[in-house]
């Protein structure tokens, strides 16, 4: 089975299939936790950006950049969960029960229009940075 990811990933689907089920499920759990935190942070960043613009000011450039970077990291981690779920399915494990689903938050449903447009542009142009450069500091997860 071949799969061509949209984002740079630290492993291929074929490599993921070779991993033990325990490693795959632990990595999915770690990514789900990370996504929950990233989505919460993204919601806060987007709220700040909206409030700043509503008051007629320009949002801090570093915060705007952080929100853009989060879009890429969130997309990459969601895709990584999908790859790992495909690996589990290839091993005969049913992943349809919701346990391995990608966590959703207000950030994913209430992104400002500009953030959604930026995400689309980043994905279409393939201009996303390498995942390793975007990883959070202190992230001690399993690197596959």
**DSSP codes, 60-111:** PHHHHHHHHHHHHHHHHHHHHHHHHHHHHHHTT---TTSTTPPP--HHHHS-
Instruction: Give me the pLDDT at residue 1, please.
Output: 67
Q: Which H or E element spans position 29?
A: helix 21-54
Each of the 144 residues of the chain gets a pLDDT tens digit; together they read 678 899 999 999 999 999 999 999 999 999 999 999 999 999 999 999 999 999 999 999 999 999 999 999 999 999 999 999 999 999 999 988 788 888 876 444 434 344 444 444 333 333 333 333 333 334 444 445
pTM: 0.70
Domain boundaries, the chain: 13-114
Instruction: Give me the pLDDT at residue 126, please.
Output: 34
């Amino acid at each position: 089975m071949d799969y061509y990811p949209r984002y740079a990933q630290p492993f291929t689907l074929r490599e993921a299939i070779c991993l033990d089920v325990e490693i795959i499920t632990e990595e999915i759990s770690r990514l789900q936790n990370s996504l929950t935190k990233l989505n919460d942070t993204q919601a806060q960043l987007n709220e700040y950006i909206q409030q700043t613009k509503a008051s007629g000011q320009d949002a801090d450039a570093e915060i705007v950049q952080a929100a853009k970077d989060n879009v890429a990291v969130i997309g990459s981690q969601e895709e990584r969960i999908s790859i790992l779920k495909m690996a589990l399915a290839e091993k005969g494990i049913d992943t349809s029960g919701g346990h391995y689903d990608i966590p959703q938050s207000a950030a994913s449903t209430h992104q400002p229009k500009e953030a959604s447009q930026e995400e689309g542009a980043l994905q279409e142009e393939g201009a996303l940075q390498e995942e390793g450069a975007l990883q959070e500091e202190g992230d001690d997860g399993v690197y596959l």
